[in-house]
Structures are given as structure tokens and as C-alpha cells.
């Protein structure tokens, strides 16, 4: 019984890829931001003229990649904007204990973080420098006031990453932080974690301001050494 030729001539290969691409394209074209809600599965289904299971498998794909999140009864939400051209690079880390995973990740982070600060020292514009200093001042203010500074510390480092004018640094380092926040026993939030690294933030800023790449590397290493010691201490 001839289903006549084809309204949808695409059965060629890989409908799944087509759907993930279509989803990514929609996200891009609709200018969706993190937190925005995506169309319901049944809407996508009729819009793309594919079965619901196909839609769901595409959603699961992005879910695994940390791009979207589903909330039962509510909808699916965007976590990180993507496009069809986005390159996904999933890493799998196998270690015995969490402590080991943390330290190994820190070792890699040391390489990336040092390079980021060196590049920032070389490529930063005056505007970048102003932003970094603002975040540093805010961080120091909060630190002195409350004795600790979680979000402000992060903001300071992110400002440095942005000063590299290479988005990969921010994406990589931010994602590494996030991943371990998931596995961390949140309630810990030790008030004194990495507190000893506090003074090196100002010296790191000075190095970047002076465009002194080697000094920037030195100061970054000092900060990370404190982090390493504290991780070893806490997870003992």
C-alpha cells in the first residue's frame, strides 16, 4: 500500500541527529537563555512531525550533556544555551575515592588556571582591568566584613577568565567547579576553605595590571597551593 512518496524525505540516516540539531537550532533561533522553558514534548512532536519517543531521546541526549533539565509536570528548561555548532566534549573520570578525583582535577585546573591568568595578563584591556578590580574590591570588602567570600571570589576569577577574550577558559573552569559542587556534601561550605589564599588575590591582580605574565603565574600557583592543601586537610 503505497504511502505515497514522501512528505518527509529525510529517513536517510540518523533521525536522532536531525532532532538534536533541530532542537539546538530552535534554541539558537529563539534566543533562549538559561532558565527559559522549552516547548512541551507534544508540541515539538507535532511541530517536527516525529514521534514522541524520538523527541524524548533527543531531550535525554542534551540532558546527559547538561544542556537542559526536565521537571516532571512543569516542563523542560534550558541550562546552557547551545547551537547546532556547539562542540560537546564529555569527559569520564574514574577514580577510587572522591578525594583522588578532586586532587587530579585540581592538577589539571592548575594548568588551565595558570595559562588563563597569563593570557589575561597579556591580553587584558583597560576595561577588563577595571572590571577585575571592581570584583576584587567587592570581594575584599565582603571578606573583611563576613570573614568569607564564596560568590565574590568566584566573580573575581570569572572576570579574569573573561579578560583572556577566550571563552573556553571560562567555560572549562566554570564547568569543572560546577561538576564537583554536585558531588560535594553541600552542607560543608567550610567557612575557612581557601581563606589563606585571600592575600594572593590582590597580588595576582597587580601582576595582571602590570602585564607581568610570570608573576601572574606565580601568584596563581600560590592560590592553588592553598586550595590543594585545604582539600587534603578536609578530605582526610
Is 54 a residue that touches DNA (CB under 7 A)?
A: yes
- Could you tell me which residues come within 8 angstroms of residue 61 by beta carbon, excluding any fewer than 6 positions away? 16, 20
Is 31 a residue that touches a copy of itself (CB under 8 A)?
A: no
- What's 81's DSSP letter? -
Which residue from 21, 41, 212, 225 is in contact with DNA, where contact means CB under 7 A?
41
Is 116 a residue that touches a copy of itself (CB under 8 A)?
A: yes
Are the C-beta atoms of residues 160 and 200 closer than 8 Å to each other? no
Is 16 a residue that touches DNA (CB under 7 A)?
A: yes
Report phi then psi at 68, rounded to 5. Answer: -130, 170
Q: Rule CB under 8 A: which of 198-217 touch a copy of itself? A: none
Which residue from 1, 6, 12, 85 is in contact with a copy of itself, where contact means CB under 8 A?
85
Closest CA to 197 of 149, 145, 137: 149
Which residue from 33, 34, 47, 53 is in contact with DNA, where contact means CB under 7 A?
53
Residue 78 in 3-state DSSP?
strand
Which residue from 115, 133, 218, 230 is in contact with a copy of itself, where contact means CB under 8 A?
115
- Could you tell me which residues come within 8 angstroms of residue 126 by beta carbon, excluding any fewer than 6 positions away? none
Q: Which does 42 bind (CB under 5 to 8 A by kind): DNA, a copy of itself, none?
A: DNA
Closer CB to a copy of itself, 80 or 143, in the complex? 80
Q: What is the dihedral of CA 202, 205, 207, 209, to 10 degrees?
A: -130
Is 35 a residue that touches DNA (CB under 7 A)?
A: no
Nearest 5°: CA angle at 74, between 187 and 89? 65
Is 9 a residue that touches DNA (CB under 7 A)?
A: no
**What would the grid cell of residue 75 be?**
516542563
* Min CB(9)–DNA separation in Å: 12
Q: Which stretch binds DNA (CB under 7 A): 44-52, 121-129, 132-140, 157-165?
A: 44-52
Q: Which residues bind DNA (CB under 7 A)?
A: 11, 14-16, 38, 40-43, 45, 49-54, 56-57, 59, 70-76
Amino acid at each position: 500500500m503505497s504511502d505515497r512518496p514522501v512528505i518527509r524525505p529525510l529517513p536517510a540516516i540518523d533521525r536522532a541527529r536531525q532532532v538534536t540539531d533541530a532542537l539546538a537550532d530552535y534554541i539558537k533561533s529563539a534566543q533562549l537563555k538559561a532558565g527559559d522553558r522549552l516547548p512541551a514534548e507534544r508540541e515539538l512532536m507535532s511541530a517536527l512531525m516525529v514521534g514522541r519517543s524520538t523527541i524524548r531521546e533527543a531531550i535525554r541526549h542534551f540532558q546527559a550533556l547538561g544542556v537542559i533539565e526536565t521537571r516532571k509536570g512543569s516542563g523542560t528548561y534550558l541550562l546552557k544555551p547551545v547551537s547546532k555548532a556547539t562542540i560537546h566534549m564529555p569527559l569520564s573520570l574514574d577514580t577510587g575515592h572522591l578525594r583522588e578525583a578532586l586532587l587530579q582535577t585540581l592538577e589539571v585546573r592548575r594548568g588551565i588556571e595558570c595559562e588563563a591568568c597569563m593570557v589575561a595578563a597579556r591580553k587584558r584591556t583597560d576595561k577588563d582591568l577595571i572590571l577585575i578590580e571592581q570584583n576584587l574590591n567587592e570581594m575584599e570588602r565582603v571578606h573583611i566584613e563576613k570573614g568569607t567570600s564564596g560568590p565574590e571570589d568566584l566573580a573575581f576569577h570569572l572576570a579574569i577568565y573573561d579578560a583572556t577574550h577566550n571563552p573556553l577558559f571560562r567555560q572549562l573552569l566554570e564547568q569543572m567547579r560546577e561538576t564537583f559542587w554536585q558531588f560535594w556534601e553541600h552542607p560543608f561550605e567550610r567557612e575557612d576553605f581557601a581563606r589563606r589564599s585571600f592575600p594572593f588575590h590582590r597580588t595576582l591582580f597587580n601582576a595582571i595590571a602590570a602585564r607581568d605574565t610570570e608573576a601572574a603565574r606565580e601568584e596563581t600557583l600560590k592560590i592553588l597551593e592553598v586550595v590543594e592543601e585545604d582539600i587534603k586537610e578536609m578530605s582526610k
